[in-house]
Amino acid sequence: MALYLLFESPFGYALFHAYGMDEITQDTQAVRDSTVDFNRFCQVVKLTAFSPSSSAIDGLNQCNAVSEGIMTDGLRNFLELNLPKVKEGKKAKFCVGVSEPKVGSHISEVTKIPCQSNEFVLELLRGVRLHFAKFIKDWMPTDLEKRFGSQLQLGLGHSDSRAKVKSNVNQVDIMVIQAIFSLDTLDKDIKSFSMIVRKWYGYHFPELVKIVNDNYLYAKIAKFVENKSYLSETHILALADIVGDEDKAKDIVEAAKASMGRDISPIDLINVQQFAQRVINLSEHRKKLYDYLVTMMNDIAPNLTYLIGEVIGARLICRAGSLSNLAKCPASTLQILGAEKALFRALKTGGNTPKYGLIFHSSFIRRASGRNKGRMARFLANKCSFASRADFFSETSTSIFGEKLRKQVDERLDFFEKGVVPRKNLDVMKTALESMNQEDGNKKKEETPAKKSKTEKSKGEADDGEAMDVDISADLGTEKEKEKEAQTGAA
Protein backbone atom coordinates (compact mmCIF):
# COMPACT_ATOMS: atom_id res chain seq x y z
CA MET A 1 0.00 0.00 0.00
CA ALA A 2 1.36 3.40 -1.00
CA LEU A 3 2.05 5.88 1.75
CA TYR A 4 1.62 9.64 1.39
CA LEU A 5 2.73 12.14 4.02
CA LEU A 6 0.78 15.32 4.72
CA PHE A 7 3.01 18.08 6.06
CA GLU A 8 1.24 21.11 7.53
CA SER A 9 3.13 24.34 8.04
CA PRO A 10 2.31 28.07 8.18
CA PHE A 11 3.80 28.37 4.69
CA GLY A 12 1.38 25.92 3.11
CA TYR A 13 0.44 22.28 2.71
CA ALA A 14 2.87 19.78 1.19
CA LEU A 15 2.24 16.20 0.10
CA PHE A 16 5.11 13.70 0.02
CA HIS A 17 5.22 10.18 -1.38
CA ALA A 18 7.18 7.64 0.66
CA TYR A 19 8.86 4.98 -1.53
CA GLY A 20 10.58 1.76 -0.57
CA MET A 21 8.62 0.98 2.55
CA ASP A 22 9.11 -2.75 2.01
CA GLU A 23 12.87 -2.36 2.03
CA ILE A 24 12.81 -0.36 5.23
CA THR A 25 10.12 -2.67 6.70
CA GLN A 26 8.82 0.27 8.66
CA ASP A 27 11.76 0.28 11.07
CA THR A 28 11.77 3.53 13.06
CA GLN A 29 15.46 3.25 13.86
CA ALA A 30 16.29 2.99 10.16
CA VAL A 31 14.19 6.07 9.50
CA ARG A 32 16.03 7.97 12.25
CA ASP A 33 19.34 7.10 10.65
CA SER A 34 18.14 8.10 7.19
CA THR A 35 16.69 11.47 8.22
CA VAL A 36 20.10 12.93 9.01
CA ASP A 37 21.44 12.59 5.47
CA PHE A 38 19.34 14.44 2.89
CA ASN A 39 20.74 12.51 -0.08
CA ARG A 40 19.68 9.29 1.54
CA PHE A 41 16.34 10.59 2.76
CA CYS A 42 15.28 12.10 -0.58
CA GLN A 43 15.56 8.66 -2.19
CA VAL A 44 12.81 7.43 0.12
CA VAL A 45 10.59 10.50 0.36
CA LYS A 46 9.77 12.77 -2.60
CA LEU A 47 7.66 15.89 -2.86
CA THR A 48 4.60 15.45 -5.08
CA ALA A 49 2.51 18.59 -4.42
CA PHE A 50 2.76 21.88 -2.60
CA SER A 51 0.08 24.52 -1.98
CA PRO A 52 1.50 27.77 -0.53
CA SER A 53 -0.51 29.97 1.82
CA SER A 54 -1.93 33.11 0.26
CA SER A 55 -0.89 35.30 3.22
CA ALA A 56 0.43 35.14 6.76
CA ILE A 57 -3.12 35.41 8.14
CA ASP A 58 -4.22 32.48 5.99
CA GLY A 59 -1.24 30.44 7.21
CA LEU A 60 -2.10 31.23 10.82
CA ASN A 61 -5.73 30.21 10.31
CA GLN A 62 -4.65 26.93 8.71
CA CYS A 63 -2.29 26.18 11.64
CA ASN A 64 -5.00 26.96 14.20
CA ALA A 65 -7.43 24.68 12.37
CA VAL A 66 -4.91 21.83 12.36
CA SER A 67 -4.18 22.27 16.07
CA GLU A 68 -7.93 22.08 16.79
CA GLY A 69 -8.31 18.95 14.62
CA ILE A 70 -10.38 20.61 11.88
CA MET A 71 -9.99 20.00 8.16
CA THR A 72 -10.45 23.24 6.24
CA ASP A 73 -11.86 23.56 2.72
CA GLY A 74 -8.40 24.41 1.41
CA LEU A 75 -6.93 21.21 2.85
CA ARG A 76 -9.77 19.13 1.45
CA ASN A 77 -9.36 20.57 -2.04
CA PHE A 78 -5.61 20.06 -1.85
CA LEU A 79 -5.97 16.36 -0.93
CA GLU A 80 -8.70 15.63 -3.49
CA LEU A 81 -6.67 17.23 -6.29
CA ASN A 82 -3.33 15.58 -5.58
CA LEU A 83 -4.20 12.14 -4.19
CA PRO A 84 -5.13 9.21 -6.48
CA LYS A 85 -8.82 8.88 -7.23
CA VAL A 86 -10.74 6.18 -5.39
CA LYS A 87 -13.58 4.47 -7.22
CA GLU A 88 -16.89 4.05 -5.48
CA GLY A 89 -17.33 0.78 -3.64
CA LYS A 90 -13.60 0.01 -3.63
CA LYS A 91 -10.95 0.47 -0.98
CA ALA A 92 -8.16 2.93 -1.44
CA LYS A 93 -4.75 1.48 -2.28
CA PHE A 94 -2.93 4.22 -0.43
CA CYS A 95 -2.82 5.75 3.02
CA VAL A 96 -2.07 9.28 4.26
CA GLY A 97 0.23 9.77 7.23
CA VAL A 98 -0.59 12.80 9.41
CA SER A 99 0.99 14.25 12.53
CA GLU A 100 -2.30 15.13 14.25
CA PRO A 101 -4.62 12.13 14.86
CA LYS A 102 -7.66 14.41 15.20
CA VAL A 103 -7.10 15.84 11.74
CA GLY A 104 -6.67 12.32 10.37
CA SER A 105 -9.97 11.16 11.85
CA HIS A 106 -11.75 14.22 10.45
CA ILE A 107 -10.28 13.59 6.99
CA SER A 108 -11.37 9.94 7.12
CA GLU A 109 -14.91 10.86 8.15
CA VAL A 110 -15.44 13.49 5.47
CA THR A 111 -13.46 12.26 2.46
CA LYS A 112 -13.18 8.49 3.24
CA ILE A 113 -9.41 8.74 2.77
CA PRO A 114 -7.60 6.32 5.12
CA CYS A 115 -5.17 8.07 7.49
CA GLN A 116 -2.71 6.86 10.07
CA SER A 117 -0.52 8.44 12.71
CA ASN A 118 2.06 6.27 14.44
CA GLU A 119 5.70 6.43 15.49
CA PHE A 120 6.92 5.44 12.04
CA VAL A 121 4.92 8.23 10.33
CA LEU A 122 6.03 10.79 12.91
CA GLU A 123 9.70 9.92 12.24
CA LEU A 124 9.18 10.40 8.51
CA LEU A 125 7.48 13.75 9.11
CA ARG A 126 10.35 14.76 11.38
CA GLY A 127 12.73 14.17 8.49
CA VAL A 128 10.44 16.14 6.19
CA ARG A 129 10.45 19.04 8.64
CA LEU A 130 14.24 18.91 8.84
CA HIS A 131 14.79 19.05 5.07
CA PHE A 132 11.64 20.93 4.04
CA ALA A 133 13.54 23.97 2.75
CA LYS A 134 15.61 21.75 0.47
CA PHE A 135 12.56 19.95 -0.85
CA ILE A 136 10.75 23.19 -1.64
CA LYS A 137 13.76 24.92 -3.17
CA ASP A 138 13.07 23.68 -6.71
CA TRP A 139 9.42 24.68 -6.49
CA MET A 140 9.86 28.29 -5.35
CA PRO A 141 13.45 29.46 -5.88
CA THR A 142 12.76 33.23 -5.84
CA ASP A 143 10.23 33.38 -3.01
CA LEU A 144 12.13 31.10 -0.65
CA GLU A 145 13.75 33.76 1.50
CA LYS A 146 10.53 35.73 1.89
CA ARG A 147 8.51 32.74 2.99
CA PHE A 148 11.11 31.18 5.27
CA GLY A 149 12.58 34.34 6.73
CA SER A 150 13.10 34.54 10.49
CA GLN A 151 10.85 37.59 10.79
CA LEU A 152 7.90 35.75 9.24
CA GLN A 153 8.39 32.72 11.48
CA LEU A 154 8.63 34.94 14.55
CA GLY A 155 5.48 36.85 13.59
CA LEU A 156 3.51 33.65 13.00
CA GLY A 157 4.72 32.26 16.33
CA HIS A 158 3.55 35.36 18.15
CA SER A 159 0.20 35.30 16.36
CA ASP A 160 -0.33 31.63 17.22
CA SER A 161 0.51 32.25 20.88
CA ARG A 162 -1.80 35.26 20.96
CA ALA A 163 -4.66 33.22 19.49
CA LYS A 164 -4.16 30.46 22.07
CA VAL A 165 -4.16 32.96 24.91
CA LYS A 166 -7.36 34.56 23.62
CA SER A 167 -9.11 31.19 23.32
CA ASN A 168 -8.01 29.97 26.75
CA VAL A 169 -11.02 28.45 28.47
CA ASN A 170 -9.50 28.98 31.89
CA GLN A 171 -9.36 32.78 31.60
CA VAL A 172 -12.43 33.13 33.84
CA ASP A 173 -10.68 31.07 36.51
CA ILE A 174 -7.89 33.62 36.49
CA MET A 175 -10.42 36.36 37.21
CA VAL A 176 -11.76 34.41 40.18
CA ILE A 177 -8.23 33.82 41.50
CA GLN A 178 -7.39 37.51 41.29
CA ALA A 179 -10.71 38.44 42.90
CA ILE A 180 -10.14 36.20 45.93
CA PHE A 181 -6.56 37.48 46.21
CA SER A 182 -7.85 41.05 46.23
CA LEU A 183 -10.58 40.17 48.72
CA ASP A 184 -8.10 38.65 51.19
CA THR A 185 -5.77 41.62 50.79
CA LEU A 186 -8.61 44.08 51.37
CA ASP A 187 -9.67 42.20 54.51
CA LYS A 188 -6.17 42.52 55.95
CA ASP A 189 -5.88 46.19 55.00
CA ILE A 190 -9.32 47.10 56.34
CA LYS A 191 -8.59 45.32 59.61
CA SER A 192 -5.22 47.04 60.12
CA PHE A 193 -6.53 50.49 59.06
CA SER A 194 -9.57 50.14 61.31
CA MET A 195 -7.32 49.41 64.28
CA ILE A 196 -5.40 52.61 63.51
CA VAL A 197 -8.66 54.60 63.34
CA ARG A 198 -9.81 53.12 66.66
CA LYS A 199 -6.54 54.02 68.38
CA TRP A 200 -6.27 57.44 66.75
CA TYR A 201 -9.86 58.51 67.42
CA GLY A 202 -9.84 56.69 70.77
CA TYR A 203 -7.67 59.40 72.30
CA HIS A 204 -10.55 61.81 71.72
CA PHE A 205 -13.55 59.48 72.27
CA PRO A 206 -12.43 56.23 74.00
CA GLU A 207 -15.96 55.14 75.08
CA LEU A 208 -17.05 54.66 71.46
CA VAL A 209 -15.00 51.44 71.11
CA LYS A 210 -17.13 49.58 73.65
CA ILE A 211 -20.41 50.75 72.11
CA VAL A 212 -19.64 50.04 68.41
CA ASN A 213 -17.78 46.83 67.58
CA ASP A 214 -18.05 46.85 63.78
CA ASN A 215 -15.09 48.51 62.06
CA TYR A 216 -17.13 49.92 59.18
CA LEU A 217 -19.73 51.47 61.49
CA TYR A 218 -17.02 52.84 63.78
CA ALA A 219 -15.36 54.62 60.84
CA LYS A 220 -18.71 56.07 59.70
CA ILE A 221 -19.56 57.31 63.21
CA ALA A 222 -16.08 58.83 63.62
CA LYS A 223 -16.55 60.59 60.27
CA PHE A 224 -20.01 61.85 61.33
CA VAL A 225 -19.32 62.87 64.95
CA GLU A 226 -16.00 64.63 64.40
CA ASN A 227 -15.71 66.63 67.66
CA LYS A 228 -17.60 64.95 70.53
CA SER A 229 -18.23 68.23 72.32
CA TYR A 230 -20.69 69.29 69.56
CA LEU A 231 -22.76 66.08 69.82
CA SER A 232 -26.30 66.55 71.21
CA GLU A 233 -29.79 64.99 71.20
CA THR A 234 -30.52 66.51 67.80
CA HIS A 235 -28.05 64.07 66.25
CA ILE A 236 -29.75 60.94 67.60
CA LEU A 237 -31.85 60.32 64.47
CA ALA A 238 -28.84 60.69 62.19
CA LEU A 239 -26.81 58.35 64.38
CA ALA A 240 -29.71 55.88 64.44
CA ASP A 241 -29.67 55.79 60.62
CA ILE A 242 -25.97 54.93 60.66
CA VAL A 243 -26.02 52.42 63.52
CA GLY A 244 -29.49 50.99 62.87
CA ASP A 245 -30.55 51.19 66.51
CA GLU A 246 -31.94 54.22 68.29
CA ASP A 247 -30.98 52.98 71.77
CA LYS A 248 -27.37 52.60 70.70
CA ALA A 249 -27.46 56.12 69.22
CA LYS A 250 -28.65 57.48 72.58
CA ASP A 251 -25.82 55.62 74.32
CA ILE A 252 -23.31 57.29 72.01
CA VAL A 253 -24.69 60.75 72.79
CA GLU A 254 -24.66 60.10 76.56
CA ALA A 255 -21.14 58.68 76.41
CA ALA A 256 -19.96 61.78 74.53
CA LYS A 257 -21.27 64.01 77.28
CA ALA A 258 -19.39 62.12 80.02
CA SER A 259 -16.35 61.15 77.96
CA MET A 260 -12.89 61.09 79.58
CA GLY A 261 -11.08 61.66 76.25
CA ARG A 262 -8.74 64.49 75.57
CA ASP A 263 -9.43 67.40 73.27
CA ILE A 264 -8.13 67.19 69.72
CA SER A 265 -6.86 69.93 67.47
CA PRO A 266 -8.64 70.73 64.18
CA ILE A 267 -5.63 69.62 62.10
CA ASP A 268 -5.47 66.23 63.85
CA LEU A 269 -9.22 65.88 63.48
CA ILE A 270 -8.98 66.48 59.71
CA ASN A 271 -6.38 63.72 59.38
CA VAL A 272 -8.54 61.31 61.40
CA GLN A 273 -11.57 62.08 59.23
CA GLN A 274 -9.62 61.54 56.02
CA PHE A 275 -8.28 58.22 57.26
CA ALA A 276 -11.76 57.14 58.36
CA GLN A 277 -13.05 58.02 54.89
CA ARG A 278 -10.38 55.77 53.37
CA VAL A 279 -11.55 52.90 55.57
CA ILE A 280 -15.16 53.53 54.47
CA ASN A 281 -14.17 53.52 50.80
CA LEU A 282 -12.20 50.30 51.18
CA SER A 283 -15.11 48.62 52.97
CA GLU A 284 -17.57 49.64 50.25
CA HIS A 285 -15.18 48.44 47.55
CA ARG A 286 -14.84 45.16 49.42
CA LYS A 287 -18.62 44.68 49.33
CA LYS A 288 -18.71 45.28 45.55
CA LEU A 289 -15.81 42.88 45.03
CA TYR A 290 -17.56 40.21 47.10
CA ASP A 291 -20.73 40.58 45.00
CA TYR A 292 -18.60 40.22 41.86
CA LEU A 293 -17.00 37.07 43.28
CA VAL A 294 -20.41 35.58 44.12
CA THR A 295 -21.64 36.21 40.57
CA MET A 296 -18.52 34.73 38.97
CA MET A 297 -18.55 31.63 41.18
CA ASN A 298 -22.23 30.98 40.44
CA ASP A 299 -21.42 31.13 36.72
CA ILE A 300 -18.19 29.08 36.78
CA ALA A 301 -18.73 26.54 39.57
CA PRO A 302 -22.40 26.54 40.66
CA ASN A 303 -22.26 23.07 42.21
CA LEU A 304 -19.12 23.75 44.23
CA THR A 305 -20.54 27.12 45.30
CA TYR A 306 -23.83 25.61 46.47
CA LEU A 307 -21.98 22.88 48.37
CA ILE A 308 -19.27 24.75 50.24
CA GLY A 309 -19.79 28.48 49.58
CA GLU A 310 -18.34 31.12 47.31
CA VAL A 311 -15.27 32.13 49.34
CA ILE A 312 -14.06 28.64 50.22
CA GLY A 313 -14.73 27.40 46.68
CA ALA A 314 -12.78 30.31 45.21
CA ARG A 315 -9.90 29.65 47.61
CA LEU A 316 -9.82 26.00 46.57
CA ILE A 317 -9.66 27.04 42.90
CA CYS A 318 -6.95 29.58 43.73
CA ARG A 319 -4.86 27.02 45.63
CA ALA A 320 -5.23 24.41 42.86
CA GLY A 321 -4.40 26.96 40.14
CA SER A 322 -7.59 26.59 38.08
CA LEU A 323 -10.89 24.76 38.01
CA SER A 324 -9.45 22.15 35.67
CA ASN A 325 -6.61 21.41 38.11
CA LEU A 326 -9.10 21.19 40.96
CA ALA A 327 -11.25 18.77 38.96
CA LYS A 328 -8.20 16.58 38.36
CA CYS A 329 -7.26 16.50 42.06
CA PRO A 330 -8.29 13.39 44.02
CA ALA A 331 -10.32 13.84 47.16
CA SER A 332 -7.30 13.10 49.38
CA THR A 333 -5.38 15.99 47.79
CA LEU A 334 -8.35 18.37 47.92
CA GLN A 335 -8.82 17.57 51.61
CA ILE A 336 -5.42 19.03 52.60
CA LEU A 337 -5.26 21.92 50.12
CA GLY A 338 -3.98 24.86 52.13
CA ALA A 339 -2.16 22.72 54.71
CA GLU A 340 0.93 21.88 52.66
CA LYS A 341 3.37 23.23 55.26
CA ALA A 342 1.83 21.11 58.01
CA LEU A 343 1.86 18.08 55.73
CA PHE A 344 5.55 18.37 54.83
CA ARG A 345 6.43 19.13 58.46
CA ALA A 346 4.62 15.95 59.52
CA LEU A 347 6.34 13.90 56.84
CA LYS A 348 9.71 15.29 57.89
CA THR A 349 9.28 14.81 61.62
CA GLY A 350 7.19 11.64 61.46
CA GLY A 351 4.20 13.24 63.21
CA ASN A 352 0.50 13.09 62.44
CA THR A 353 -0.52 14.40 59.03
CA PRO A 354 -3.18 17.16 58.87
CA LYS A 355 -6.80 16.15 58.45
CA TYR A 356 -8.03 19.26 56.64
CA GLY A 357 -6.88 22.43 54.97
CA LEU A 358 -9.12 25.13 53.52
CA ILE A 359 -12.28 23.06 53.98
CA PHE A 360 -11.86 23.42 57.77
CA HIS A 361 -13.60 26.80 57.48
CA SER A 362 -16.76 25.12 56.20
CA SER A 363 -19.81 25.08 58.46
CA PHE A 364 -20.03 21.29 58.15
CA ILE A 365 -16.66 20.81 59.85
CA ARG A 366 -17.57 23.25 62.61
CA ARG A 367 -20.88 21.48 63.25
CA ALA A 368 -19.22 18.08 63.59
CA SER A 369 -17.97 16.90 66.98
CA GLY A 370 -14.27 16.66 67.76
CA ARG A 371 -13.95 12.93 67.07
CA ASN A 372 -15.93 13.18 63.82
CA LYS A 373 -14.15 16.17 62.27
CA GLY A 374 -11.64 13.99 60.39
CA ARG A 375 -14.29 11.69 58.96
CA MET A 376 -16.44 14.68 58.05
CA ALA A 377 -13.47 16.30 56.29
CA ARG A 378 -12.86 13.17 54.19
CA PHE A 379 -16.51 12.94 53.20
CA LEU A 380 -16.76 16.65 52.39
CA ALA A 381 -13.57 16.53 50.31
CA ASN A 382 -15.04 13.63 48.33
CA LYS A 383 -18.19 15.60 47.55
CA CYS A 384 -16.22 18.76 46.70
CA SER A 385 -14.13 16.76 44.23
CA PHE A 386 -17.30 15.43 42.58
CA ALA A 387 -18.85 18.92 42.45
CA SER A 388 -15.75 20.46 40.83
CA ARG A 389 -15.72 17.73 38.17
CA ALA A 390 -19.42 18.24 37.49
CA ASP A 391 -18.80 21.98 37.05
CA PHE A 392 -15.81 21.54 34.74
CA PHE A 393 -17.01 18.71 32.51
CA SER A 394 -20.75 19.42 32.30
CA GLU A 395 -21.98 21.24 29.20
CA THR A 396 -24.86 23.02 30.96
CA SER A 397 -24.48 25.27 34.00
CA THR A 398 -26.68 23.89 36.76
CA SER A 399 -26.51 23.55 40.56
CA ILE A 400 -28.59 20.36 40.82
CA PHE A 401 -25.61 18.20 41.75
CA GLY A 402 -24.53 20.74 44.37
CA GLU A 403 -27.97 20.64 45.99
CA LYS A 404 -28.01 16.83 46.14
CA LEU A 405 -24.43 16.69 47.43
CA ARG A 406 -25.19 19.22 50.16
CA LYS A 407 -28.14 17.10 51.29
CA GLN A 408 -25.82 14.10 51.36
CA VAL A 409 -23.36 15.94 53.60
CA ASP A 410 -26.22 16.92 55.95
CA GLU A 411 -27.38 13.30 56.06
CA ARG A 412 -23.86 12.09 56.80
CA LEU A 413 -23.58 14.65 59.60
CA ASP A 414 -26.85 13.34 61.07
CA PHE A 415 -25.46 9.82 60.77
CA PHE A 416 -22.35 10.75 62.77
CA GLU A 417 -24.32 12.57 65.46
CA LYS A 418 -27.68 10.72 65.65
CA GLY A 419 -27.13 7.43 63.82
CA VAL A 420 -29.66 8.10 61.03
CA VAL A 421 -28.79 5.93 58.03
CA PRO A 422 -28.12 8.11 54.94
CA ARG A 423 -29.14 7.36 51.39
CA LYS A 424 -26.79 5.58 49.03
CA ASN A 425 -24.74 7.64 46.61
CA LEU A 426 -26.14 5.74 43.60
CA ASP A 427 -29.72 6.63 44.50
CA VAL A 428 -28.85 10.29 45.04
CA MET A 429 -27.10 10.54 41.67
CA LYS A 430 -30.05 8.88 39.93
CA THR A 431 -32.43 11.47 41.37
CA ALA A 432 -30.01 14.25 40.37
CA LEU A 433 -29.88 12.99 36.78
CA GLU A 434 -33.68 12.64 36.66
CA SER A 435 -34.20 16.19 37.92
CA MET A 436 -31.59 17.45 35.45
CA ASN A 437 -33.34 15.70 32.54
CA GLN A 438 -36.66 17.06 33.75
CA GLU A 439 -35.25 20.57 33.85
CA ASP A 440 -33.93 20.18 30.30
CA GLY A 441 -37.34 18.92 29.19
CA ASN A 442 -39.06 21.91 30.74
CA LYS A 443 -36.69 24.24 28.92
CA LYS A 444 -37.45 22.52 25.63
CA LYS A 445 -41.19 22.79 26.29
CA GLU A 446 -40.83 26.49 26.92
CA GLU A 447 -39.07 26.89 23.58
CA THR A 448 -41.54 24.79 21.55
CA PRO A 449 -44.89 26.66 22.13
CA ALA A 450 -43.98 29.38 19.66
CA LYS A 451 -43.18 26.76 17.04
CA LYS A 452 -46.37 24.86 17.84
CA SER A 453 -48.51 27.96 17.48
CA LYS A 454 -47.01 28.53 14.04
CA THR A 455 -47.70 24.95 12.98
CA GLU A 456 -51.23 25.07 14.39
CA LYS A 457 -51.81 28.32 12.54
CA SER A 458 -50.61 26.81 9.29
CA LYS A 459 -52.79 23.77 9.88
CA GLY A 460 -55.78 26.04 10.56
CA GLU A 461 -55.11 27.95 7.39
CA ALA A 462 -54.86 24.69 5.50
CA ASP A 463 -58.17 23.50 6.98
CA ASP A 464 -59.84 26.75 5.98
CA GLY A 465 -58.46 26.38 2.49
CA GLU A 466 -59.74 22.80 2.25
CA ALA A 467 -63.16 23.94 3.44
CA MET A 468 -63.18 26.66 0.80
CA ASP A 469 -62.26 24.11 -1.85
CA VAL A 470 -65.07 21.83 -0.73
CA ASP A 471 -67.60 24.67 -0.83
CA ILE A 472 -66.46 25.74 -4.32
CA SER A 473 -66.63 22.18 -5.64
CA ALA A 474 -70.10 21.81 -4.09
CA ASP A 475 -71.28 25.00 -5.84
CA LEU A 476 -69.82 23.81 -9.12
CA GLY A 477 -71.59 20.48 -8.69
CA THR A 478 -74.96 22.13 -8.10
CA GLU A 479 -74.52 24.37 -11.16
CA LYS A 480 -73.73 21.35 -13.37
CA GLU A 481 -76.82 19.50 -12.09
CA LYS A 482 -79.03 22.52 -12.87
CA GLU A 483 -77.64 22.68 -16.43
CA LYS A 484 -78.37 18.95 -16.98
CA GLU A 485 -81.97 19.38 -15.70
CA ALA A 486 -82.49 22.34 -18.03
CA GLN A 487 -81.19 20.32 -21.00
CA THR A 488 -83.47 17.35 -20.23
CA GLY A 489 -86.47 19.69 -19.82
CA ALA A 490 -85.78 21.29 -23.15
CA ALA A 491 -85.52 17.85 -24.79
Q: What is the pLDDT along the chain (491 residues), one digit of tens a residue?
A: 788 888 887 678 888 888 765 444 456 666 677 777 778 888 888 888 888 877 767 777 777 787 777 888 888 888 888 888 877 777 778 888 888 888 888 888 888 888 888 888 888 888 888 888 788 776 554 454 455 455 556 666 666 666 555 545 445 688 899 999 999 999 999 999 999 999 999 999 999 999 999 999 999 999 998 888 888 888 889 999 988 888 889 999 999 888 888 888 889 889 999 999 999 999 999 999 999 999 999 999 999 999 999 999 999 999 998 898 999 999 999 999 999 889 899 988 988 888 889 999 999 998 898 889 999 999 999 999 999 999 988 877 888 999 999 999 999 999 988 888 888 888 888 888 888 888 777 776 776 654 444 444 444 443 444 333 334 233 434 444 444 444 444 43
Contact 384, 334 (CB under 8 A): yes
C-alpha dist (Å) from residue 234 to 217, 226, 263, 369: 20, 15, 22, 51
C-alpha dist (Å) from residue 18 to 11, 46, 92, 477: 21, 7, 16, 80
CA dist 390 and 276 (Å) reads 45
Running DSSP on this structure, what letter comes out for residue 263?
P
| Complete domains list, the chain, with CATH | 2-166 (3.30.420), 174-295 (1.10.287.4070), 301-437 (1.10.246.90)
Q: Residues 478, 481, 487, 491: what is their CA dihedral angle, to the nearest 10 degrees? A: -140
Task: State whether the Cα torsion 142-148-154-158 is positive or negative.
Answer: positive
Which one-letter amino acid corresponds to residue 274?
Q
Here the contacts of 424-431 (C-beta below 8 Å, separation 24 or greater) are 428/404, 429/404, 431/404
